[in-house]
Structures are given as structure tokens and as C-alpha cells.
């Protein structure tokens, strides 16, 4: 924990969401005291202590910090690439990220990470899990390290899902467009061991985690390697993550090639359990939802990216109702164009109601998925719920703006109204990391210049 953090009192917020599921989703009119990186107390009318920093939150709504469980930070220099803007997943993979993998120098990866982390932080994210797959047989592994460095400089919790491909390049719809050779299993596992010893902390309020995350079964590794990878992760005490069932085409491929549904297939290869979560899960049969629920396997629900690529709408409300741990994620911004969790939450609230009717989900449920739900799939049990003893990760949304006048219930405003809504303060592990709407120490002009240079280097030939 951050023992240097001074005691902090957040007084008189207009409303507070807890991150818990109903009926405990709201905390009413309370103040919050933060001490030593933890929430010390939550109660009405807490009196300031001598020397304590006090934040007047009377025109703010307090939310738990969002936990983004699936991202690809390097894609922050690949937004709205013309050759992929109207493409489906398979065409987009082959047109946008994969042809550029070898062009991502550590410098470009750092600029992209900085852009992405800044956007996440200013939308209320305090924990990010990045699925990072800029790896190949002859490439540098330092991009993984620099992600930890950048997240630390922003003061964010960071989970590196160490991705990559492990089989003949010809089988991956994206990788096959490159001249790159995938890593061997030994290469990948050696780097994961190295990352683990340097960064990983398995505690419940950890600031840094490493996860084993080959990019996509079975395109990125042969089926026979899946159990080997799962066993290696479990031996190391690391969680497992990957993409699954993002498109109908993927489900059809699994059925034709293996005679199984994707969740049945991964079940036979030791890839289900409370230490596993999958991104997308757009196309699932009821039997697969039951298998995920029975094993405690989680979902990173990415509704904007799934809509942008025309992949479909994951049945997240049905998964949650069945007992599947559901979390929210923005996915890479090359297939979203926004890395904002506020935007993701707003869209998630709307899209299930458009598809299934007004009773499909509630704002309280969306906030739960995006906070405590995310912490659950990442195994960060002391994070993302506003309660005494929990890590102090929370955001103060500024509702002092004309568009927030007239609300009868301000607690729901950031999700119901969506953006623009400004994060006035963000606090991670008791430390203020967004101060009056700005990230202290971030040179925005330099970042803009670096980003413009990066786009020029990565532009379509
Ligand atoms: Zn993804």
C-alpha cells in the first residue's frame, strides 16, 4: 500500500455508487475518508481531522474507479485507419493491426500507451488490463516492460496480459499477412517467467499483475498447446486470458474443424475456471453460458468494439443472470475509436435495452460490471468496491454543468447522459492521480507531437 498518502476526506458528494450489485448499489448521503491507501470509513457528516486534505464534492458524483479488463494499448495510434473502418473482424485484423506489428518500435508503443492510459484515466478508469500481443520470434520483449513503467507513471493499477502467437503464421488471419515468425512456447514462457519475477504481485490490492494470454485459440496456437499453456500459468500462479467467440465465423470454424462449440473446445483443453476470463463471448449457446457459470469463468464484455466491427451483441445480461462473472472493457481503440469507459458504460446500458427491451439491464448493473465485476475477473478482491477496508480507487464525476441540471437522480447521470462528463478527481490506492480534471505532470503538447509523428509512421502505404 501507499503509506505516504495523506489522509483525505471527500465531503458531501451529491451521490455515491458502491460498485456492488443491487440492493447495495448506492450509498446515499455519505462522506468518505481515505487513509493509507484504503477507505477507512464511509458515514454521514465525517468531521475533518487536523491536517487532513478535504475535497468538497458537493457538485460531484462518486463512482468506484472503472476496471477495464481488455484493452490493446498499442492500438492508440491506429484509430479510424481507412482500410479497416468498414471492415469486419477478419478483414480488419488483416488490414489494421497485423501489417503494422513489426513497425511498432518501443518508442511508438510508449507513445500509444501514454495516449491510451491518459484517455482511460480521464474517463474514470483506475485499473487497466492490457492484452499485449506485439511479440514475435525476433522481436524485442521490452514493450511489455514499458507498459508497466507508463502505468506506474500515471499511478494506475496495471495487469499485463502477455499475448502473442505460437504457431505457423499461415493459420492466423492477421499474422499470415506478415513476414513475422511467431514465438516458440519456450520463448513465450521464459519471458512470462521474467515478467512475473520482475513485476507480479498476487495480492488482493495488487498494483501489478501478469497474466498468460496467447492471442486467440486456435488461430494463435495449436490446440495441443492449450493445456500446456494453462498448466504453465497455473504452476506460476498466474491467471489466463484470451479472445473467444467474437464472431459467428469463429463459432462456425470451431464446429467444422473440431466438431465442438468454442466453450466446449476450451473446456476440453483445461481453459475454464475462476482463473480464466475471455474477451467478447458474443456468440454463445445456452449450454456454453451454463459451463462458464458452473466453472466461474469470466467475460470481458466489449459492446462498442463488437458493434463497430459488426460482430453482434453479446448476451451479457443472460450471462450475468446465469452467474457468469461479467466485466466491461473498451477493447483496442483501433476497433472502437474511444478508450473511454464512460462511453462504454453508456453504450452497454443502451444496447441491451435496444436488443431485449427496457428490463434487460439497469445502470446499477452496468456500474457493477464495470467495477466490482472487473475486479472479480482479475482476482483483485480488495479493489473497485467502495467499502471500508477496500483499496481507495474512486472517481469524482463533475456534474456542475448545464447538461446535468434537471436530473431527478444524479447517481445515474454519468452513465445515463454519457459523455461529455468530466472526471474532476481520480484517486488510485489513496493517491490523487487526476487533479481538477488534469493529469499532474503530463506534457500534453509533447504527447500530441509524438502521436502525430506516430500516425505518420504507421499510415497506410
Ligand atoms: Zn481484443
Q: Taking the model in full, what pTM does it have?
A: 0.97
Neighbouring residues of 357: CB distance < 8 A, sequence distance ≥ 6 = none
Concatenate the DSSP letters of all residues of 38-77 into one string: EEEEEETTPPPPTT-EEEE-TTEEEEEPEEEEEE-GGGGG
Ligand 1 mean position, distance from CA 306 (Å) = 10
Given this model, what pLDDT does residue 437 score? 98
Residue 243 Cα to ligand 1 middle (Å): 6
Grid coordinates of 296: 466461474
* Three-state SS at 425: strand
Q: How far is the CA of 70 from the centre of ligand 1 (A)?
A: 6
> 72 CA to middle of ligand 1, Å?
6
Q: How far is the CA of 280 from the centre of ligand 1 (A)?
A: 8
Report the alpha-carbon distance of residue 270 to residue 250 in Å, rounded: 19
Distance, CA 129 to ligand 1 centroid (Å)? Answer: 11
Distance (Å) from CA 131 to ligand 1 centroid: 7
Ligand 1 geometric centre to CA of 299 (Å): 12
pLDDT score, position 1: 41
Q: How far is the CA of 71 from the centre of ligand 1 (A)?
A: 6
- At residue 23's C-alpha, the angle toward residues 21 and 28, to 5°, is 100
Ligand 1 center from residue 90 Cα (angstroms): 12
> How far does residue 31's CA lie from ligand 1's centre (Å)?
38
Rounded Cα gap, residues 177 and 88, in angstroms: 16
d(CA 221, CA 229): 10
Cα of 399 vs centre of ligand 1, distance in Å, is: 32
DSSP 5: P
Could you tell me the distance, in angstroms and rounded to a whole number, from the CA of residue 115 to the centre of ligand 1?
18
155 alpha carbon – ligand 1 mean position (Å): 24
Domain 66-378 architecture: Alpha-Beta Barrel (3.20)
What are the domain boundaries of the chain?
Answer: 8-62+398-435, 66-378
**Model pLDDT, residue 167:** 76
pLDDT score at 171: 62
Query: In the prediction, which pLDDT does 72 show?
Result: 98
331 CA from centroid of ligand 1 (Å): 5
- Residue that is written with C-alpha cell 509533447 in the block: 446
Cα(32)–Cα(9) distance, integer angstroms: 6
**Chain centre to alpha carbon of residue 420:** 20
CB 221 within 8 A of CB 196: no
CA of 352 to the centre of ligand 1 (A): 21
Tell how far the Cα of 10 is from the centroid of ligand 1, in angstroms: 36
CA distance 142 to 152: 16
Intervals of the chain under pLDDT 70: 1-5, 168-174, 176-177, 461
pLDDT value at position 235?
A: 98
Tell me: the pLDDT tens digits for 343-360?
Answer: 999 999 999 999 999 999
* d(CA 359, ligand 1 centre) in Å: 29
Cα(215) to ligand 1 centroid in Å equals 8
Distance 185 CA to ligand 1 centre (A): 21
Fold type of domain 8-62+398-435: Urease, subunit C; domain 1 (2.30.40)
Peptide bond before 222: cis, by omega within 30 degrees of 0? no
Amino acid at each position: 500500500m501507499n503509506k505516504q498518502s495523506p489522509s483525505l476526506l471527500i465531503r458531501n458528494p451529491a451521490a455515491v455508487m458502491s460498485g456492488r450489485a443491487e440492493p447495495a448499489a448506492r450509498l446515499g448521503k455519505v462522506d468518505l475518508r481515505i487513509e493509507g491507501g484504503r477507505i477507512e470509513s464511509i458515514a454521514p457528516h465525517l468531521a475533518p481531522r487536523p491536517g487532513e486534505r478535504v475535497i468538497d464534492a458537493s457538485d460531484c458524483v462518486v463512482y468506484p474507479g472503472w476496471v477495464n479488463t481488455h484493452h490493446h494499448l498499442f492500438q492508440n495510434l491506429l484509430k479510424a485507419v481507412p482500410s479497416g473502418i468498414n471492415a469486419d473482424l477478419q478483414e480488419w485484423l488483416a488490414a489494421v493491426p497485423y501489417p503494422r506489428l513489426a513497425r511498432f518500435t518501443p518508442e511508438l508503443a510508449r507513445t500509444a500507451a501514454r495516449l491510451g492510459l491518459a484517455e482511460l484515466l480521464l474517463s474514470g478508469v483506475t485499473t487497466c488490463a492490457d492484452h499485449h500481443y506485439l511479440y514475435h520470434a525476433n522481436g524485442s520483449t521490452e514493450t511489455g516492460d514499458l507498459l508497466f513503467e507508463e502505468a506506474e507513471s500515471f499511478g494506475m493499477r496495471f495487469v499485463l496480459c502477455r499475448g502473442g502467437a505460437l504457431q505457423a503464421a499461415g493459420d492466423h488471419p492477421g499474422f499470415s499477412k506478415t513476414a513475422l515468425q511467431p514465438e516458440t512456447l519456450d520463448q513465450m514462457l521464459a519471458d512470462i517467467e521474467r515478467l512475473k519475477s520482475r513485476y507480479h504481485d498476487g495480492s488482493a490490492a495488487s498494483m501489478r499483475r501478469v497474466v498468460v494470454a496467447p492471442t486467440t485459440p486456435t488461430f494463435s496456437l495449436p490446440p495441443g498447446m492449450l493445456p500446456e499453456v494453462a498448466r504453465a500459468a497455473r504452476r506460476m500462479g498466474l491467471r489466463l486470458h484470451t479472445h473467444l467467440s467474437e464472431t459467428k465465423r469463429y463459432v462456425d470454424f470451431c464446429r467444422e474443424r473440431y466438431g465442438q462449440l468454442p466453450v466446449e473446445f476450451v473446456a476440453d483443453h483445461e481453459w475454464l475456471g475462476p482463473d480464466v476470463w475471455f474477451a467478447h463471448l458474443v456468440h454463445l449457446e445456452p449450454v456454453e453460458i451454463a459451463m462458464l457459470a458452473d466453472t466461474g469463468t469470466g467475460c470481458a464484455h466489449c459492446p462498442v468494439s463488437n458493434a463497430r466491427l459488426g460482430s453482434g451483441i453479446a448476451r451479457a445480461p443472460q450471462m450475468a443472470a446465469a452467474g457468469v462473472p461479467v466485466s466491461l472493457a473498451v477493447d483496442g481503440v483501433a476497433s472502437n475509436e474511444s478508450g473511454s469507459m464512460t462511453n462504454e458504460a453508456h453504450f452497454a446500458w443502451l444496447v441491451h435495452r435496444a436488443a431485449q427491451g427496457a428490463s434487460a439491464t439497469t445502470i446499477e448493473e452496468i456500474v457493477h460490471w464495470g467495477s466490482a465485476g472487473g475486479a472479480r475477473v482479475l482476482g483483485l478482491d480488495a479493489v473497485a468496491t467502495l467499502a471500508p477496508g477496500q483499496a481507495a480507487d474512486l472517481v469524482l464525476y463533475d456534474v456542475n454543468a448545464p447538461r446535468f441540471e434537471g436530473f431527478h437522480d444524479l447517481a445515474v447521470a454519468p452513465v445515463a447522459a454519457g459523455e461529455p462528463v468530466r472526471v474532476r478527481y481520480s484517486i488510485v490506492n489513496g493517491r490523487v492521480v487526476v487533479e481538477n480534471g488534469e493529469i499532474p505532470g503530463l506534457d500534453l503538447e509533447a504527447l500530441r507531437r509524438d502521436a502525430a509523428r506516430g500516425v505518420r509512421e504507421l499510415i497506410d502505404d
